[in-house]
């Protein structure tokens, strides 16, 4: 029986109450094994039936796509804007190792595992699967990032890596989707390959131009007293979405443009960019809540419907060996203790980026094995939400107490 209008109203009221209670009890919740993703995934799953009956599947797909795009644009821009090139050169040797060495190794090992578990899927789907499951999510690691038990250098490393890897993995995701789509009979592979190359080249160029231009314009306005500091949040929205829309209009990839624009803006703008962090703590957190709620309500049931033992094995592999071995190898010779390498390897939770990439690629391209990909992503994110959520607090205390023992200096191997 379809839910009545009043029952749907009760569901929405329950969701609003859940959001309010989370805001009310944020500090108390942070001391438990519960996390924002766990709570809103459960809320979404509980309300999955009435929410799924709100509209036709096509209308719901449009809504999911819109939420995914808006959230991903803001996350890519804001994360990239907080990475300063000067600090990156001086202090970020460890996250750079993880990004430059660990990320490609993760994608490569992930492709091998995906092919071994499902050889019939082919190279392209293995690449796409590995790419969408490689980026990590700071939202799932918030307990670690805010814990005073975790040494500052480890928190900074996790924050920088999760902030940059979703943008860096975008070309791999795009090419994987393009190659998978060309595998369909009748697909125009030459046209798709040319379009992909154009997107990867034009997107960053447009991001550089707009990020630099907007930063210079805001500098002039602030220096002459023309711009109020409080309007920074509005400017942030304008820049992020302008980069995306302009790139899409000119044939580039809008997400790459938003990511690069954020990085250029953050390193060009001479005034404080705290307004971006303040905005994302409010509106950004609400979008994150809605994204995990939609995941629990509309994606997880669909993923579970197509679940196989191969998908479960792939999810476990990506959360353990596929993530942890490349990170360990990338940190060889870094001077970090074995426990710190294991800690950084384990806290590579999968969440928002994997969900959003999968939604957008499935909507943008037609490729075989979409149901299997969705099942793999859903199981990986589901297990990550649970396992990383419940292990964050105890492992943070463990690494804090273990780190009281002095480590060797950076550059002296602890292997």
Does residue 369 come out as left (phi exceeding 0), alpha (psi in the -120 to 50 range) or beta?
left
The token pair at 285 is 């957190």
DSSP letters of 237-277? HHHHHHHHHHHHHHTS-HHHHHHHHHHHHHHH--S--HHHH
Residue 400 structure tokens: 């804090």
CA distance 19 to 325: 38
Q: Which of 304, 301, 309, 218 is nearest to 261 (CA)?
A: 218
**Which pLDDT does position 191 carry in this prediction?**
57
Q: Residues 6 or more apart from 233 whose CB is under 8 A from it?
A: 275, 276, 278, 279
Confidence (pLDDT) at 87: 62
Q: Supply the pLDDT for residue 105.
A: 96
Distance CA 376, CA 370 (A): 10
Residue 156 burial (CB < 10 Å; 0-12/13-18/19+)?
Answer: middle
Output DSSP code: residue 409: P
Question: 279 vs 13, 74, 297, CA distance in Å?
Answer: 25, 10, 26
**Closest by alpha carbon to 253, among 207, 189, 184, 192?**
207
Find tokens 């040797």 and name the residue: 93
Per-residue model confidence as pLDDT tens digits over 310-351: 899 999 999 999 999 999 999 998 888 999 999 999 988 888
CA-wise closest residue to 207 among 276, 151, 256: 256
Q: What is the pLDDT of residues 75-113, one digit of tens each?
A: 888 878 877 766 666 567 888 899 999 999 999 999 999
Q: Which of 127, 136, 173, 106 is nearest to 37 (CA)?
A: 136
Is 18 in contact with 34 (CB distance < 8 Å)?
A: no
Q: Dihedral (C-alpha) 218, 222, 228, 232: value to the nearest 10 degrees?
A: 40
Report in angstroms the alpha-carbon separations of 102 from 19, 118, 337, 387: 36, 24, 17, 22
Query: Using N-to-C axis directions, what is the helix angle for 370-402 and 338-346, rounded to 10°?
Result: 150
- The answer to whether 88 touches 116, Cβ cutoff 8 Å, is no
Nearest of 195, 196, 177, 191 to residue 124 by alpha carbon? 177
Helix (H) or strand (E) holding 302: helix 300-305
Please name the CATH architecture into which domain 5-188+282-402 falls.
Up-down Bundle (1.20)
CA 119 to chain centre: 27
Selection from 285, 261, 272 nearest residue 232 by Cα:
272
From the number of C-beta atoms within 10 Å of its C-beta (0-12, 13-18, 19+), residue 16 rates as exposed
d(CA 381, CA 294): 13
Of 173, 172, 167, 160, whose CA–CA distance to 211 is shortest? 167
* 387 CB-near residues (< 8 Å, 6+ apart): 319
Residue 155: the pLDDT is 83
**What is the enclosing helix (H) or strand (E) of 355?**
helix 352-364
CA distances from 198 to 167, 299, 351 (A): 17, 31, 28
- Give, for all 415 residues of the chain, the pLDDT tens digit: 454 555 678 888 888 999 999 889 888 887 777 788 888 999 988 888 777 777 677 777 778 778 878 888 888 888 788 777 666 665 678 888 999 999 999 999 999 999 999 888 888 899 999 999 999 887 666 778 777 888 888 887 887 888 778 878 888 988 888 888 876 544 455 555 666 677 778 888 999 999 999 999 999 998 888 888 778 888 889 999 999 999 989 988 888 899 899 989 988 988 888 888 888 877 878 888 888 888 888 888 888 888 888 899 999 999 999 999 999 999 998 888 999 999 999 988 888 788 888 888 888 777 777 888 889 999 999 999 889 888 888 888 888 887 665 544 444 444 4
Residue matched to tokens 């309300």: 47
């Amino acid at each position: 029986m379809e839910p009545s209008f009043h029952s749907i109203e009760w569901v929405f009221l329950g969701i609003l109450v859940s959001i309010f209670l989370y805001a009310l009890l944020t500090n108390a919740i942070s001391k438990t094994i519960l996390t924002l993703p766990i709570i809103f995934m459960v809320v979404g799953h509980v309300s999955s039936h009435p929410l799924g009956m709100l509209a036709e599947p096509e209308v719901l797909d449009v809504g999911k796509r819109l939420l995914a795009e808006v959230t991903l644009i803001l996350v890519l821009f804001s994360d990239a804007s907080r990475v300063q090139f000067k600090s990156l050169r001086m202090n970020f040797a460890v996250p750079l190792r993880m990004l430059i060495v660990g990320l490609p190794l993760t994608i490569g090992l992930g492709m091998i595992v995906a092919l071994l578990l499902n050889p019939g899927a082919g190279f392209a789907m293995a690449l796409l699967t590995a790419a969408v499951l490689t980026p990590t999510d700071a939202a799932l690691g918030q307990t670690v990032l805010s814990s005073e038990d975790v040494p500052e250098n480890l928190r900074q490393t996790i924050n920088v890596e999760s902030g940059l890897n979703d943008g860096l993995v975008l070309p791999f995701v795009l090419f994987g989707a393009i190659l998978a789509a060309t595998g369909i009979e009748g697909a125009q592979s030459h046209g798709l390959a040319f379009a992909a190359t154009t997107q990867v080249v034009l997107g960053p160029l447009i991001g550089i131009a707009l990020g630099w231009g907007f930063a210079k314009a805001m500098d002039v306005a602030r220096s002459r007293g023309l711009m109020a500091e409080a309007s920074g949040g509005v400017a942030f929205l304008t820049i992020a979405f302008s980069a995306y829309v302009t790139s899409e209009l000119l044939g580039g990839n809008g997400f790459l443009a938003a990511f690069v624009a954020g990085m250029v803006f953050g390193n060009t703008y001479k005034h404080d960019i705290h307004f971006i962090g303040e905005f994302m703590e409010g509106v950004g957190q609400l979008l994150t809540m809605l994204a995990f709620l939609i995941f629990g309500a509309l994606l997880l049931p669909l993923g579970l419907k197509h679940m196989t033992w191969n998908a479960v094995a792939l999810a476990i592999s990506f959360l353990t060996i596929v993530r942890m071995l490349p990170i360990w190898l990338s940190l060889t010779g870094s001077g970090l203790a074995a426990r710190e390498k294991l800690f950084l390897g384990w806290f590579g939770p999968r969440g928002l980026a994997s969900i959003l990439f999968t939604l957008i690629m499935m909507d943008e391209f037609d490729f075989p094995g979409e149901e299997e990909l969705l099942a793999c992503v859903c199981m990986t994110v589901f297990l990550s939400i649970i396992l990383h959520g419940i292990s964050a607090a105890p492992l943070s205390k463990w690494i804090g107490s273990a780190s009281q023992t002095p480590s060797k200096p950076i550059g002296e191997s602890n292997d």
